[in-house]
Amino acid sequence: MVSRPHGGRLVRRVLTGRRREIFEAQSGEMPRLEVPLERAIDAEDLARGVFSPLEGFMVEDDYLSVLNRMRLSNDLPWTIPIVLDATREWLESQGLSPGDDIVLLYNELPIAVLTLEDVYTWDKRLHAEKVFKTRDPGHPGVEAVYKRGDILLGGRLELIQGPPNPLERYTLWPLETRVLFKEKGWRTIAAFQTRNVPHLGHEYVQKAALTFVDGLLVHPLSGWKKKGDYRDEVIIRAYEALTSHYYPRGVVVLSVLRMNMNYAGPREAVHHAIVRKNFGATHFIVGRDHAGVGSYYGPYEAWEIFREFPDLGITPLFVREAYYCTRCGGMVNEKVCPHGEEYRVRISGTRLREILRRGERPPEYMMRPEVAEAIISHPNPFIE
């Protein structure tokens, strides 16, 4: 059977029926909080069970417990705080008490109703130190935290509607992947997290995992991008080209997940695994320097942290980085190839990007021609 949701039960908190009618009649008088896209995305992920068992933004007990021991206050593994911030000025202008309903708006569009349970402050430098292992504002995750409000609001929420999603056609929620895996008769599923187009190294790692499980969930994270990143639709096209030409029919599900990326390295690797468990995956492929940025984390730190969580309920797969060996004559990794550095041709994402940016085809030992074609034929494959 597929993985049980984290904490035992899949959270579903979409406002429907009578509750929705009451909301529509009363929402005009409710306090309102305009949130940025990142928080609107969190709200939808919470309501649709991506973050099960969380039912809303964290209250202080859970927040501190996650910060200090990487577990919720009930001891369940959880590594990344999911918190809602506001400013002191906003709070003072509202006169709120616990139990009050607050409407969260994104671009003036009602996204969710938060039932306030807790209001508290956070020490952002301590937060950065614990979650990101650095207080350096040069780290993009740390920088984002420093820009947030000083007050945190905790409480369960109900979704009214998610923020507009340009990739709706490719978005599946945990309930949907679970039904899908059941339909396909898959009992074991390895999830692959990505933000990139696939090269032969990725293919090797995925196929190594696929050798031992029934199916593969290729799960690109969509959402916030920086200049030079591949566009989401380019990543999808590239994977469609790869799987249709080089994977057996029916063993891959390609779906996007809109979720915020923190670049919190090891902690985020565990977070990514927990989230995929909620989608029904039984195995999670953990990359080298998974969710890292710059040189803030050691290359295998994201593997080591999993030792602290024997009770995660999803099996991490540590597949070594693949390279082309000119003596082996194929893609291998250092665990299976005895040859020296001089025979190893590593595939560099940066170099691939340069080649593709010029509209050229990378050599075939780096990228499948159909994948390269899918990227090059896009009028504008990179974020500008």
Partner 1 sequence: MGDKVSVEISKELYEKAKKFIEENGGFKDVSELVEFLLSEAISDEAETVGMTPEEEEEVKERLRSLGYI
- Residues catalogued as catalytic: 194-196
Q: How far is the CB of 306 from partner 1 (least distance, A)?
A: 11
Q: How far is the CB of 41 from partner 1 (least distance, A)?
A: 21
178 part of the interface to partner 1, by CB under 8 A: yes
Q: Which phi and psi angles does 7 have, rounded to 5°?
A: 85, 0
- Residue whose token pair is 């025979």: 343
User: With respect to partner 1, which residue has the nearer C-beta, 71 or 344?
Assistant: 71
Q: Which does 60 bind (CB under 5 to 8 A by kind): Zn ion, partner 1, none?
A: none
User: With respect to partner 1, which residue has the nearer C-beta, 189 or 356?
Assistant: 189
Selected binder of partner 1 within 14, 64, 96, 175 (CB under 8 A): 175
| Alpha helical stretches, state H, 135-282 | 140-146, 174-184, 200-210, 232-246, 265-278
| Separation CA 293–CA 296 (nearest Å) | 6
Q: Which does 327 bind (CB under 5 to 8 A by kind): Zn ion, partner 1, none?
A: Zn ion
124 part of the interface to partner 1, by CB under 8 A: no
The token pair at 141 is 């995750």
The token pair at 16 is 């429907």
The token pair at 20 is 């929705």
Q: How far is the CB of 33 from partner 1 (least distance, A)?
A: 30
Q: Interface with partner 1 by CB under 8 A: which range of 1-9, 106-114, 148-156, 190-198?
A: 1-9
H/E run at residue 303: helix 301-304
180 part of the interface to partner 1, by CB under 8 A: yes
Q: Which does 328 bind (CB under 5 to 8 A by kind): partner 1, Zn ion, none?
A: Zn ion
Residue pair 256/222 in contact (Cβ under 8 Å)? The answer is: yes
| Separation CA 321–CA 204 (nearest Å) | 9
Residue pair 58/154 in contact (Cβ under 8 Å)? The answer is: yes
Residue pair 100/31 in contact (Cβ under 8 Å)? The answer is: yes
User: With respect to partner 1, which residue has the nearer C-beta, 217 or 356?
Assistant: 217
166 part of the interface to partner 1, by CB under 8 A: no
Q: Interface with partner 1 by CB under 8 A: which range of 29-37, 177-185, 268-276, 368-376?
A: 177-185
Spell out, one character per residue from 246 to 285, where the chain touches partner 1: x when CB under 8 A holds, - when not. Answer: -------x--------------------------------
HEC per residue, 34-64 = ECCHHHHHHHHHHHCCCCCCCCEECCHHHHH
DSSP single-letter state for residue 74? T
184 part of the interface to partner 1, by CB under 8 A: yes
The token pair at 148 is 């947030």
Selected binder of partner 1 within 182, 245, 351, 357 (CB under 8 A): 182
Binding site for Zn ion (CB under 5 A): 325, 327-328, 337, 339
Residue pair 277/6 in contact (Cβ under 8 Å)? The answer is: yes
15 part of the interface to partner 1, by CB under 8 A: no
Residue pair 133/297 in contact (Cβ under 8 Å)? The answer is: yes
176 part of the interface to partner 1, by CB under 8 A: yes
- Residues making contact with partner 1 (CB under 8 A): 1-2, 4-5, 8-10, 12, 75, 77, 169, 172, 175-176, 178-180, 182-184, 253, 307-311, 313
